[in-house]
Structure 1
């Protein structure tokens, strides 16, 4: 088949028909045709030639051209597609490097093999265009809900028809033992859209917490309008869930709005989630208060929050323990997911026993270190003193509140505490010296003798060693391992050194050693403060 003898308008008609069928741009089909014709021409004229084909978008006429580029003499490699400045003078006036000489060549006769190759090129280009169109259509829909029809099930994964292609609902993204038949309508959350070699992959979910949030947005107009905000969601898919909401309009109850008249709104979500029980909880910026709400229906007697460790301790009445924990730990697990904190639950009896044990330990410590009788040591502990340092260095007036303590007794208590601490510090420093601690670390301001001893026992014996430490190695911290928070013990953690204090100490050491420019440090700190101020202003 010769291009010149064919009906030239047939090319455009074919392109439009394919584009209409596949719902893609006709220009993409024409470009695919141009590329396929160029390949056929190269097989006729030579693969090293730069043959290009241009199809007129109005008449359908195909023009075949050969392109040669002017290059420097030493860069000449392809004699069929390149030539030097001297060679180019035969065809061009004043040729320069980079210029192209374009000449029209006769159209080719397309044999059976060339036609088949052209067809494959066009099909490939059309498939690529379809994939790009599908990706562009769905990439911005990630995070939304889609209604689709089930096509088939493969190894527990459900393949659904999303119009422009297929999406997959993986086995672990289904609720419980959900089973679907072909043509069933299914509502899912678009969790992720990825561009992969085999085409765009659309991953759906019915277990994601965001799926529940989107369902509530569809059922509760106040959420859609932004009057009520969903702050957190925790789910045990198919069984139970907790959702925290807050209202920005004082006249609207966020919990009541989400429940709806006679529970109509929440029931619609429950039905979609296969009967999943939903606890709707009012959000509170005060974390202990929020946790008390999150542990409903259990009653809470006391909450102790350790923000630095990301842990919270909850004390409940003895009869409320099983309710607070929930079946197989479900209630406390969901409350933990909702608040983002590790939760320890104690009964009032357990907490009382622990307090008593701590009281006895501190009483014994004061008896042994200050040479006191049990009654006097108990009085000190009862007033809230927990360490020798507190007794040694508080204002003397604070000791006078202890029953039976006058100024002379208070002075004696402080003298004994300081003498004991001095002896302990000397012992610690002597031990550190034995371990090989150098003066550079001993003379560093901010470290006590007992801290230096602890560092020496951990192999930190010079200021250089100290400057290489990370803040969490000193103050301790928490690491996520397999989805669980694991405690990292810090060398100086027992001395109540915070992460911020550890950062300051390490950075000071680095400045002293010349590793860090103090001016750059100050500039970075000022920039960070400006950033925080800007964020606060936006809020």
Structure 2
């Protein structure tokens, strides 16, 4: 193939077609063609030469030039691409360090090997441009919910088609024992987007607390509008969750707005999360009040705050102890995650005995 004999406009049409198919800038494809032609010319004229190719964006004509740079006398490293001020005098009237001499050279005939090499360069460049576009597109969407289609499963990780890319839903980011088949529709939270050697990686999650917060934002217009704010979320994925909300409009009840008419809003979120039970709790600036709310449905008799140790003792009626702790400690664990405090739960009887023991200890110390 010779660039001179090829239909030059066809070159630009090919670049446009590739750019449209891969959804990248056509100029990137033309630059890849220029680089591949320059590489082919170097294999023909010599690898040490600085050969550059420019394709006219209107006519498709490729011009081949050899570039030599004027350097200091003792700085010449490549005699084919660099020359001293004295050597440059036949070419320039007043040569100075940094000047360049550009000579046009005959176009090259692309042999079979050179054409194959040019094709590889173009494909590599197009792949890199595609990866950059994908990274830029999804980087701004981190922290949002995306709908996708399950493509395949690899070692327990689900590969999800998210439009112009593929996302990975890892085994530990799935809810409970979720199983998916090829072609299933799936809704996930974009947890992170990172550049890696094999291209941009989109990491998805269905267990992240932010996933639940974003689902409520979609279901509750007041949260989307900023009238109600989600202050904290704690989840035991697939089993139970607690979400703390506050309203900035006194006429709107934050809990009622999130529950919806006959529970329609919260039910939509529960269905998406495989039946995960959700406690919606009013947030309060006062740590003790917030904690009492967070331990619902258990009733709390008394709260003792140790601010120095950042611990809280909660006293509950004897019959409420198992409800406050929850199955396998779930209720108190979620309340602790929600409030960010370490919680000790005592029954009224235990607290009474401990107070009695403290009183006797202090009395003895005082007497001593």
**TM-score of the two chains, using structure 1 as the length reference:** 0.68
Query: 1:100, CA displacement in angstroms?
Result: 1.0
| Structure 2 equivalent of residue 190 of structure 1 | 190
Q: Matched residues in 1 for 2:123 and 2:303: separation?
A: 66
Task: Give the secondary-structure state (helix, strand or coil) at the position aligned to 2:366.
Answer: helix
| Bigger mean CA offset, 128-137 vs 304-313 | 304-313
Residue 43 (structure 1) aligns with: 43
In 1, distance between residues paired with 2:96 and 2:198?
A: 44
1:306, distance to aligned residue in structure 2 (A) = 2.2
1:284-433 counterparts in 2 under 5 A?
284-368=284-368
Deviations 1:109-144 (A, max 9, x none): 100010000000000001011101111110000000
Structure with the greater alpha carbon radius of gyration: 1
Aligned match of 1:14: 14
Q: How does 1:149-160 map to 2 (within 5 A)?
A: 149-160=149-160
Displacement of 1:309 after TM fit? 2.4
Q: What does residue range 76-475 of structure 1 map to in structure 2 within 5 Å?
A: 76-368=76-368
**Match in the other structure for 1:60:** 60
| CA distance, structure 1, for counterparts of residue 357 and residue 77 of structure 2 | 87
Q: Secondary structure at the match of 2:188?
A: strand
How many angstroms apart in 2 are the aligned matches of 1:19 and 1:309? Answer: 62
Q: Distance in 2 between matches of 1:12 and 1:153?
A: 40
**CA shift digits 1:450-502 (9 cap, x unpaired):** xxxxxxxxxxxxxxxxxxxxxxxxxxxxxxxxxxxxxxxxxxxxxxxxxxxxx
* CA offsets 1:69-89 (integer angstroms, 9 cap, x no match): 111111111101111111111
Q: Give a deviation string over 1:59-102, Cα, whole Å, max 9, x none.
A: 00000011111111111111011111111112111111111111
The CA distance in 2 between the partners of 1:367 and 1:98, in whole Å, is: 95
1:338 is paired with a residue whose SS is helix
**In the aligned structure 1, how far is the partner of 2:267 from the partner of 2:13?**
54
Q: Structure 1: any 5+ residue segments left out of the alignment?
A: 369-539
Q: How many residues align?
A: 368
Aligned-partner SS, 1:66: strand
SS of equivalent residue, structure 1 residue 60: coil
Deviation readout 1:216-270 (Å, 9 max, x if unpaired): 0000000000000000000000000000000000000000000000000000000
Separation in structure 2 between the aligned mates of residue 310 and residue 124 of structure 1, nearest angstrom:
56
Q: Deviations over 1:268-290 (max 9, x none)?
A: 00000000000000000001100
How much does 1:340 deviate?
0.5
User: Whose helix proportion is higher, 1 or 2?
Assistant: 1
Match of 2:24 in 1: 24
TM-score, length of structure 2 as denominator length? 0.99
CA distance in 1, matches of 2:162, 2:350: 56
- Secondary structure, counterpart of 1:243 in structure 2: strand
Shift of 1:49: 0.8
Question: What's the CA shift string for 1:408-445, capped at 9, x where partnerless?
Answer: xxxxxxxxxxxxxxxxxxxxxxxxxxxxxxxxxxxxxx
The separation in 1 between residues aligned to 2:7 and 2:294, in whole angstroms, is 74
Shift of 1:178: 0.5
Instruction: Determine helix, strand or coil for the equivalent of 1:216.
Output: helix
User: Hey, what's the Cα distance between the residues in 2 that align with 1:42 and 1:358?
Assistant: 90
